[in-house]
Amino acid sequence: MKEIILIKDGELSLKGLNRQNFEDKMISNIRRKLKKFGDIKIRKAQSAVYIEPRSDDFDFEAALDEMSTVFGVAAFSRACVCEKNFEDIKQKAPVYLKETLMGVKTFKVEAKRADKNFPLKSPEICAELGGVLLENFSNLSVDVHNPDITVTVEIRDFGAYIRAGQIKGAGGLPAGTSGRAQVLISGGIDSPVAAYTMAKRGLILNAIHFASPPYTSKRAEQKVKTLLKKVARYSGTIKLSIVPFTEIQEEIGKCCPEDYFTIIMRRMMMRISCIVAEKDGCMALITGESLGQVASQTLPSIAATDSVCNIPTLRPLIGMDKEEIVTISKKIDAFETSILPYEDCCTVFTPKHPHTRPKPGQCEKAEEKLNIDVLIERAVNGIVCEYIDF
């Protein structure tokens, strides 16, 4: 019996004239992700994408698992392909659904008749096929309100399809439909969630990490790479730039008032991030900031860091509380890594009483003795890059 993966796109159907581009992007992303599981043929029609395995060794389970990471997909399921005649549907349904239906007590049949030329109307399909399944499985009864399983028959362009239930997809927009942005990634809980959240809106990601050896260790760097790997499962390959930040932090420690350490450090991070972003074709920065979470995430602090940037900074977590952020972190399997206790450069040089209301003018004064251009040039020249893939 021929089986396919049937995919429904969600938000894409709202895209009007652009829809074709969005769908094509999603299909090429699917093709890239699934090719390791065997040869496939992909077709699309009527808000659906059909994935047909072309080799016997196609790993269906693994492919389905991977489908849940493709942005742009609203829902997906495995489905049995039938000819567009009811005899074939009636014959195949009990065989294809045997294992599933043996394990439940109640069911209902739903019919979707996208091809209006099909001779039976939807209620007739439901009633007839329901009868066939009741005859074949004595354990079953019909429950139209709250069934254990819904059997769906879809009469579509290329054929008829039978499926039992469907899986919710990753949603969002296909990776690569919104351009490229650079995420400032630490080893914490927030920034990987910010990266995932923006990738979900169709962005391709680059990442930048500031490391301060020997105050921060190789293991802290490894943690960042592990976190990016989790994100890359959804976003695709991520270029990571690791910036040597020790000298800058030490200079800030020597030349600036202590209560300004954090905000000046963040301004230096943003300045360097903007330079690297421009070089790598990124149109925006992404951070994991959430309003009021810590001293550097008050509105005056955000204004003081924004004032040194010449591209927008996206802060998808700005209105979320920790619990909401942790829920997403767990969902993308990043949480257990994020809570490993390695040091971040931000925590190494934390002042006892950081400023919560810095004014841009005051920041500039506090930075007076810092040789900003020279420090930035040296840090940028010391950047090491790596590509992180799932």
Which residues of this protein are in contact with Mg ion, per CB under 5 A? Answer: 186, 188, 344
251 touches which of Mg ion, ligand ATP, none (CB within 5 to 8 A by kind)?
none
Contact stretch for ligand ATP (CB under 6 A) within 99-107, 341-349, 352-360, 380-388: 341-349
Choose among ligand ATP, Mg ion, none what residue 82 binds, the Cβ cut-off being 5 to 8 Å by kind.
none
Contacts by 35-42, CB closer than 8 A, 24 or more apart: 37/62, 37/63, 37/66, 38/63
Q: Which does 309 bind (CB under 5 to 8 A by kind): ligand ATP, Mg ion, none?
A: none
Cβ closest to ligand ATP, residue 24 vs residue 333: 333
Paired strand residues for 314: 286
- The binder of 358, among ligand ATP, Mg ion, none, by C-beta within 5 to 8 A per type, is none
Residues 6+ apart with CB under 8 A from 147: 106, 107, 108
DSSP SS3 for 292: coil
Total residues in contact with ligand ATP, by rule CB under 6 A: 20
Using the minimum distance from each CB to Mg ion, give the nearer residue, 77 or 297. Answer: 297
Distances (CA, A) of 29 to 35, 204, 234: 10, 12, 10
Residue from 289, 337, 370, 388 touching ligand ATP (CB under 6 A): that is 289
Q: Is 201 exposed, middle or buried (0-12, 13-18, 19+ CB in 10 A)?
A: middle
Half-sphere exposure of 87 (CA within 13 A, CB side): 0
Q: Measured from the CB of residue 97, what is the shortest distance to ligand ATP in angstroms?
A: 46
Amino acid at residue number 40: I
Site membership for ligand ATP, residue 287 (CB under 6 A): yes
Q: Which is nearer to ligand ATP, 157 or 321 (CB)?
A: 321
Classify the C-alpha dihedral 262-267-272-277 as positive or negative. Answer: positive
Q: Is 210 in the site for ligand ATP (CB under 6 A)?
A: yes
Among 190, 221, 251, 367, binds ligand ATP (CB under 6 A): 190
Q: Give which of 10, 388, 78 is closest to 233, Cα–Cα.
A: 388
Helices (H), the chain: 19-34, 60-67, 86-96, 98-102, 122-136, 190-199, 218-235, 246-255, 261-279, 299-306, 322-331, 335-338, 345-348, 360-366, 372-381
- Pick the closer one to ligand ATP by CB: 156 or 267: 267
Q: Using CB under 6 A, which of the segments 165-173, 188-196, 230-238, 375-383 binds ligand ATP?
A: 188-196
Nearer to ligand ATP, 174 or 288 (CB): 288
- Per CB under 6 A, which region of 67-75, 110-118, 294-302, 381-389 contacts ligand ATP? 294-302
Closest approach, Cβ 293 to ligand ATP, in A, equals 6
Coil/strand/helix, residue 117: coil
Q: Give min distance, CB of 123 to ligand ATP, in A.
A: 53
The CB-nearest residue to ligand ATP is: 188
Q: Which does 23 bind (CB under 5 to 8 A by kind): ligand ATP, Mg ion, none?
A: none
The closest of 176, 188, 163 to 101, measured between CA atoms, is: 163
From candidates 67, 109, 189, 270, binder to ligand ATP by CB under 6 A: 189
Of 50-58, 179-187, 198-206, 381-389, which part binds ligand ATP (CB under 6 A)?
A: 179-187
Nearest to 313 by CA among 357, 280, 267, 355: 267
| Dihedral pair phi/psi, residue 273, rounded to 5° | -60, -40
Helix (H, G, I), strand (E, B) or coil at 31: helix
- What are the residues whose beta carbons fall under 8 Å from the beta carbon of 59, sequence distance 6 or more? 37, 38
Measured CA to CA, the distance from residue 77 to residue 80 in angstroms comes to 10
Q: Under the criterion CB under 6 A, does residue 221 sit at the interface with ligand ATP?
A: no
> Whole-number minimum distance, CB 281 to ligand ATP, in Å?
19
Binding residue for ligand ATP (CB under 6 A) from 159, 169, 188, 316? 188
Please report whether residue 251 would count as binding ligand ATP according to CB under 6 A.
no
Q: Residue 119: count other Cβ atoms within 10 Å of its Cβ.
A: 8
Q: How far apart are CA 173 and CA 200, in angstroms?
A: 6
Closer to Mg ion by CB, 68 or 222: give it.
Answer: 222
User: Which one of the spans 15-23, 25-33, 75-83, 342-350 is the region binding ligand ATP (CB under 6 A)?
Assistant: 342-350
Q: Give the footprint of ligand ATP on this chain (CB under 6 A).
A: 184-186, 188-191, 208-210, 287-289, 293-294, 296-297, 344-346
